[in-house]
Amino acid sequence: MAAPTAAESRAAALGAVSAKWLAAGLSTARADRQAAAEAARLAYRSAGLPEPRHVVWFASPLAGARAAALLTGRRDLPGAAPDPAEEAIAAQLRGQGCPPVIGSAGASVRAAVRTAPWAAARAEAHDLLGPDGWAGLWAACGADVWRLVNDRIATPLRTHLRGELPVHARAVLLDAVGGQHDAGWLAAFDAAAPVPGAPPAAAGGTPAAGPVFTAGPVAAAWVSAAGSGGADAASGSASGIGAGPVGAGSGLGVGPGGAAPVFSAGPVGAVWANLGAGEAALHAVQRLAGLAGVARSSSWWWPYANVAILTDRPDTLHRDNIGRLHAADAPALHYSDGYALHAWRGMPIPSDLVDRLAHLTYRQIADERNAELRRVMLEHFGYDRYLREAGAHKVAQDECGILWRLNFADDEPLTMVEVINSTPEPDGTSRVYWLRVPPQTRTAREGVAWTFGLTEEEYRPLIQT
């Protein structure tokens, strides 16, 4: 077998970084609480902050948000009826040695722990690679992970959390750090991690206590840029970056004595070293090691001056074939304390709808006032069955099929083409398919053409399959 080309080696190395962080973002494994807590403390130190007096744990982001609301004072006004959920949170805080004193968390330090280090790391990587190089790195390592983790899991979760929290407590969601759901941008910075041996730098450039970076799978992937294309690399262009031998290692390593996990050395770090930047290079990326360590073993977390509130990863995650939260008869996302999110093809749905789906009638669907929920019910019930039972109107029929339409009072009409597969099944029958088409469709041919991105006049199939 021929040796892989430079481009193939580079793509494989960057793909490995992306896959590692996608796995972290989707993980339902039990958290390593000790490692995550140490990583959180490292994140504080790397930001130049004192470590929090307390690091406390809760089983879900909802419980973590409730704890943040209690400790920051974002809670019911004095004199309100006791909140059993808040009392349970207070009991858990006491059990972990953290007095549940209202307002005792101190100010949010999210900007110092997460926002500022992220911006500094991006600026350094951007300066090294230039706009095109940074865009290429993001496309190779971060974009897909961000889409599958942040867009399709974290965003629906945030929407659901807002609905679960009292209005006065929702502001704490602005204080949260994503943990494992920050996997997309952490993947890109992992690929930009510095060379081995450069200690993490604290604010002001002083090396912080903690682990050093270890050699990872892409340590030398772009090293040839410094030899043959160093001028391009130094000027910020990615065009001259080639691929050298793939380094040993496997993702986040551990520092001396088994300290918190950190980034592996990525391709950008190798370029810096060969350009003579040495251990001074990419200190901003190094300061993300604590955030990366938390993300490898926990879900959302809240950094405050006096308290860091960490939460466990989910114990159940169900997705459809394109990565959206989805489950027909169970929570799509579930945490060990019972907090759960039900979803149908990415859209959060009420938990009671799951039970109703198994016993739907077309009348219940017709009576549903929420158009989005009605669409979920329609997909589960089956469009063909609904059209039959609800009395849809036949609009047109031609050699391509039959066009059906059913009007709703508060939504666009349900318009579908019934088509028959011209290739018989093994038993001699022909399968019927239903294609949803735009409401303004006038003929079955026009509807079928639309599914191919064509006009009715352009649709001239030579063979029907």
Q: What is the pLDDT of residues 58-112, one digit of tens each?
A: 999 999 999 999 999 986 555 555 678 889 999 999 999 999 999 999 999 999 9
- Between 135-139, 208-212, 234-238, 349-353, the lowest mean confidence (pLDDT) is in 234-238
Query: Would 206 be classed as within a structural domain?
Result: yes
Same-domain pairing of 148 and 268: yes
Q: How confident is the model at residue 299 (pLDDT cuts 50, 70, 90)?
A: very high
Same-domain pairing of 427 and 334: no
pLDDT at residue 163 tops 50: yes
Same-domain pairing of 302 and 321: no
- Between 19-28, 178-187, 426-435, the lowest mean confidence (pLDDT) is in 426-435
Same-domain pairing of 425 and 381: yes
- Between 26-30, 100-104, 337-341, 457-461, the lowest mean confidence (pLDDT) is in 457-461
Same-domain pairing of 324 and 404: no
DSSP 339-364: -EEEEETTEEE-HHHHHHHTT--HHH
Radius of gyration of the chain (CA): 27
Query: Would 457 be classed as within a structural domain?
Result: no
What one-character DSSP code corresponds to residue 194? Answer: P
Average pLDDT over residues 266-288: 53
**Cβ(417)–Cβ(402) under 8 Å?**
yes
pLDDT at residue 302 tops 90: yes
Q: How confident is the model at residue 166 (pLDDT cuts 50, 70, 90)?
A: confident
At 432 the pLDDT is: 82
Same-domain pairing of 347 and 380: no
- Side chain identity, residue 126: H
Note down the domain range covering 73: 6-313
Note the pTM of the prediction, 2 decimals.
0.71
At 80 the pLDDT is: 56
At 275 the pLDDT is: 36
Task: Dump strand ranges (E) for 139-268.
Answer: 214-215, 253-254, 261-262, 264-265
| Average pLDDT, rounded, for the chain | 78
Q: Which residues pair with 325 in a beta bridge?
A: 319
Q: For the chain, what percent of residues have pLDDT higher than 90? A: 46
